[in-house]
Amino acid sequence: MFKKRTVLSIVMLSLLFFITACNSENTNGNDASNEAQQSSESETEEGINELPEEELNKMDQGEAVQTLQEGLNEIGYSLKLNGNFDEATTWAVTDFQLQQENLQAIGAYNEETKKALEDVLAAGDEIDVGAGLPQEVEASTSDEEANVVANPYDQLALVNKQNTLPSDYDPDDLVVPDIPFPFTEDLPKKQMREVASDALEDLFQAADEAGLDLVAQSGYRSYERQEAIFASNANEHGEEAANQFSAQPGQSEHQTGLTMDVTTPSINNELTTEFGETDEGKWVAEHAADYGFIIRYLEGQEEITEYQYEPWHLRYVGEKPAQEIMSQEITLEAYLDEE
């Protein structure tokens, strides 16, 4: 009898040990699962928080650019993680911006784009890649030898005699900057894209505070309007001569909505090289880059730009690129290595 009770006790103790061990394993398993889930959530949050803080533009390089590329790939893009803010990265940023509400499509990464990308990543959503801007753009052009600019929204888009804007490109964010014009008519040439308009208002305010008298003469110009202007100039001066100072349709930066010709009443509001010798012209040459503008057609660079010197022609490219371009006294072609 004693032996039976001893055997039974041993069996019950063994069973109790087995049950306890199983419960312990289940608890440990749940703990491990919870830890893994928390770790995954933490990594996701950490990935979102790692998006670059600084503004990034085409031509930038480094870890910040690669981190941006990784973030874009997480929402559906397939960029090479090369740390180069190249054309593909510029296209992806632009495509993303075009698909978001209240984002300016400029092809550059800024605080507003960072916030929108964080929201998409946090929601675990994916982008309909190419729905905003197809990666390959086909458009008609009057010059079959010129390349068609695939991303006309890009604030660093190169427009010249070799790179033509699509004939149907018409910016949809055109506004009239609150600055003085020498005419009162409500004409399209008062308009600029919003990002450039905001910057130009700041530039004009600074010039006014410096005691200078700037006026804006000509901004946005449609493909059709440029076609009429060039035809008129060619008819009056001959096509070869017109090509030195007037752009053919599609080859005018005015169509981007990122350009404004400026002048001053002291030279009768005319667009002449004399503007560069005025106090206003000298101030613009020195300070335009502080507001994201460059003098697009520099003196002595006619062989590269293929246009005459135009101290009045301001092109918006963003503050960082503008400061680099103007400080080095180079053309946009040279900056983009497209000479």
Angle in degrees, CA 205, 180, 293, rounded to 5? 55
Helices (H) and strands (E) in the chain, counts: 11, 8
CA 325 vs CA 95, 165, 246: distances in Å: 26, 22, 23
For the record, the structure tokens of 303 come out as: 């062989």
pLDDT of 45 > 50? The answer is: no
Separation between Cα atoms, residue 214 and residue 207, nearest integer Å = 7
CB atoms near residue 119 (< 10 Å): 12
Q: Do 294 and 260 contact (CB within 8 A), yes or no?
A: no
pLDDT of 268 > 90? The answer is: yes
CB-based contacts of 276, cutoff 8 Å, min separation 6? 282, 285, 299, 309, 311
pLDDT in tens, 15-35: 444 444 444 444 444 444 444
CATH class of 63-123: mainly alpha
- Give the predicted TM-score (pTM) of the model: 0.84
pLDDT in tens, 193-203: 999 999 999 99
pLDDT in tens, 206-258: 999 999 999 999 999 999 999 999 999 988 899 888 888 888 999 999 999 99
For position 145, what pLDDT does the model report?
Answer: 67
First to last CA, the chain: 105
Residue type, 40: S
Fold of 147-335: Muramoyl-pentapeptide Carboxypeptidase; domain 2 (3.30.1380)
Kind plus residue range of the DSSP H or E element containing 315? strand 310-316
Could you tell me the sign of the dihedral formed by the alpha carbons of 49, 55, 58, 63, in that order? negative
Kind plus residue range of the DSSP H or E element containing 96? helix 87-98
Strand residue runs (E) in 179-252? 192-193, 215-218
Separation between Cα atoms, residue 322 and residue 289, nearest integer Å = 5
Separation between Cα atoms, residue 160 and residue 146, nearest integer Å = 9
For the record, the structure tokens of 266 come out as: 């002291």
pLDDT in tens, 157-181: 999 999 999 999 999 999 999 999 9
268 burial type by CB count under 10 A (0-12 exposed, 13-18 middle, 19+ buried):
exposed
pLDDT in tens, 113-140: 999 999 999 999 999 999 999 987 554 4
pLDDT of 13 > 50? The answer is: no
Mean pLDDT of 51-65: 97
